[in-house]
A and B are shown apart, each in its own frame.
Chain A
Amino acid sequence: MTDFGAIDALLAGARQEVPLPSVEVRRGLREGLNLSRAQVAQALGVSPSTVGGWESGRDPGGEVREKYAYFLDGARTWLEAQAEQAAEEVSADDDDASASGDAELEESEAGAAEAEGEAEGESETLAVAQPCVLCGHPARHQVAGFPQHLDPGECGGETATVSEPPAKPAAAPVAPPVKVVPVGRRVQAVSDGPDPIAAAVAGALAEHAGDVDAATAALIKRAIPDAMALLDSTRKGGRYDVVAHPWIPDILRKQTARGADQIWEARPKWARRELPPGAHEVTALDINGAYLSALKTHLPIGQLEHSTGFGHDRRRAGVHLITPPVWDHEAELPNPVGNRDEPGPLWVTEPTLRLLLRLSGPKYGLCEPPEIHESFTSGATENLLEKFRIALKDARDRAIEQDDEVTLEYVKAMYSKFVSTMGESNYNRELYRPDWMHLIRSQAFANLWTKAYKAYGEGLTVVRAMGTDELHVIGDWRSVFPEGRGVSEVKIKDTYTVGEDTDPAATGEHENEHED
């Protein structure tokens, strides 16, 4: 009974999390008060980037959440008061104005896009409803550039307005914000800019008179030069040049024409040795676009420089000669160093080393820290291929949305061939970075390991982790990984059953589950 008492106490002590307004509203409120992130951050005792994070999707927790909610609440009250005051001024103005002015106002409210006429006082009527800075619901007026409801009755908290019927049903779905990029002196919507991928696909389809197979083949053939052109265009105005032909240390050179170099990429090739008795439904999951996601990794920018006997510098990346730690969890989790048979030190890449360092840290405590003997590193950045990755990911998402197989295949060929030929390949002579190739592959393997660990942590049984993107699990994986075709989702490759049921009761249960 004492156990239940303790649980009851725990439940009683658990507080309901303070509800926060939606992400865009948070920013609108802060900007409505003309406060910078730093000012808010100082008042709340957090860093400005944290506040930025809250305004772009993350949620604070605990005590600081209450503080933040208090701030947002106060800001809303203040802005509402201001809006009311402005509305009163407007109505006073309207009384003075002629009847024709009123009629115009009515007309524009009905939907006519009149830009000038109605700009009376501080308040303006918007032709297209925009999210209110106070409550986030569509409003048709703006004060000093901030869209908001003039009537405080219309403008309520989230819970208040949900129950109310929207004023104009046509304006109910809020359009997502338009992404813009600076072009010359102006800004331009991203969708209006040149899209080389869509242009190439359209050109190929036109050339082959709509023959999908021929167009796909032609596009795959030109994927490597196109990827290089895309890389060049995404590096325009970038802070770092892409150094395409640096001096390469001997460990990164192939020993013979068909041989391999000395880098160990830590490719997982692991299968669980034994399973508990009984039949198990195993699902083979496929990680979508593993190499595409792996383009986001710490890449060395310039020429690799040698160093010995130093610890790990987080601002640099490269390859390291390490003695890997002993791995005691082989029974349930793959070794992050992969399936290595030979003992002794080996050259690993940055993502593998970072994974090992993380796992040896206090948060995981899964192994001892690796011993670093020597390194070839250079100053690193995670953003070198970021725009390139985003461009490809956007094209991929769009292709999935529109069910456009040609673009999908083209994008896939672009990123996969880009990674596989960026080393000493004769198919891509513009980029000789075997170090990047190894780092990106290792990042994909490290990402797969992290997914395996996540599955293990959520109570699934990991059966196999192999290649770049294949994970076999037992259990309700849908609660852990979303299913789909996006890069953050997984898809089913295969399902199969392992073992035989010996217990008839268990079989019955199993079947019942299936009937459900």
Chain B
Amino acid sequence: MPEHIQEFGKYGARGIKGSAAVARRLDMLAGGIVTPITTRRGLLARLHYLTRTDHARSAAREAGLTVTDRTLKAWLEGRRSPSKRNLEKIERAYWTVRRQNVARYLVGRLNARGRGTRVELHPVNQSQVDRPRQRVVEFRTLNIRHWDQLVQAWSTGDTQAFDDAWTDQIVDLGSQWGQYEYVTNVGFAA
């Protein structure tokens, strides 16, 4: 699409990709264990979350935690501790499973029985751009009624699909939607 920005930040504008801001916000809304995995408490909390039920175990295996049950038991009992690479795997599996579990409720809240959720788009920061190159980009709001695709792409961690789903939504802003491909912040609540 011609509205896409090619070289963002060439003249000093600062911001992040809109979809990245949305993903960050969705992560914040989903919440989760904040204690770092490097501590015993954080590790145990994640392992408990991933091994509580058979369904959780299979979800964890699908999310990339391909270790034997014997190893998991040893980790949980503290006889062995996971290697650095396995810690990363646990962390990644935890967030994947967490997102999958939360997604259904998040979609329900965001769709709000068809009323949708108001999303605020805060434009890029142009304070470092030369005066002649600065453009008037206003604060805009948008009501998004269908969150299913967005949340689906977010829960599976498919960045490209998520970006496309987000672009589909901001096209509704009108002919200037390209100005909101990059933003400083995207605000909404569920």
Contacts and interface: CB of A to CB of B under 8 A. Distances in A.
A314 to B, nearest CB: 21
B188 interface: yes
Contacts of B46: none
B189 A243 contact: no
A429 B187 contact: no
B122 A246 contact: yes
Given A241-B139, A241-B141, A302-B139, A246 B189 contact: no
A246 B187 contact: yes
A429 B185 contact: no
A243 B122 CA distance: 9
B3 interface: no
B120 interface: yes
Interface string B137-150: 00101000000000
Interface of B: 118, 120, 122, 127, 139, 141, 184-185, 187-190
29 contacts: A241-B139, A241-B141, A243-B120, A243-B122, A243-B139, A243-B187, A244-B120, A244-B187, A244-B189, A245-B120, A245-B185, A245-B187, A245-B188, A245-B189, A246-B120, A246-B122, A246-B185, A246-B187, A247-B122, A247-B184, A247-B185, A302-B139, A303-B184, A303-B185, A305-B127, A429-B189, A429-B190, A430-B189, A432-B187
A313 to B, nearest CB: 16
A150 to B, nearest CB: 58
A236 to B, nearest CB: 14
Given A243-B139, A247-B184, A247-B185, A303 B190 contact: no
A299 B89 CA distance: 46
Nearest to A248: B185
A247 B127 CA distance: 16
Contacts of B190: 429
Contacts of B189: 244-245, 429-430, 432
Nearest to B189: A429
Interface residues of A, number: 12
A430 B187 CA distance: 10
Which 10 A-B pairs have CB atoms at the shortest separation, nearest pair first? A245-B187, A429-B189, A247-B185, A245-B120, A303-B122, A247-B184, A245-B188, A246-B187, A247-B122, A246-B122
A247 B139 CA distance: 12
Contacts of B122: 243, 246-247, 303
A305 B127 CA distance: 10
Contacts of B185: 245-247, 303
Nearest to B141: A241
A381 B37 CA distance: 45
Interface string A213-256: 00000000000000000000000000001011111000000000
A291 to B, nearest CB: 23
B64 to A, nearest CB: 29
B189 to A, nearest CB: 4
B87 to A, nearest CB: 24
A247 B187 CA distance: 8
A246 B189 CA distance: 12
B25 to A, nearest CB: 8
A429 B185 CA distance: 17
Contacts of B139: 241, 243, 302
Nearest to A432: B189
Interface in A397-446: 429-430, 432
A227 to B, nearest CB: 16
Nearest to A429: B189
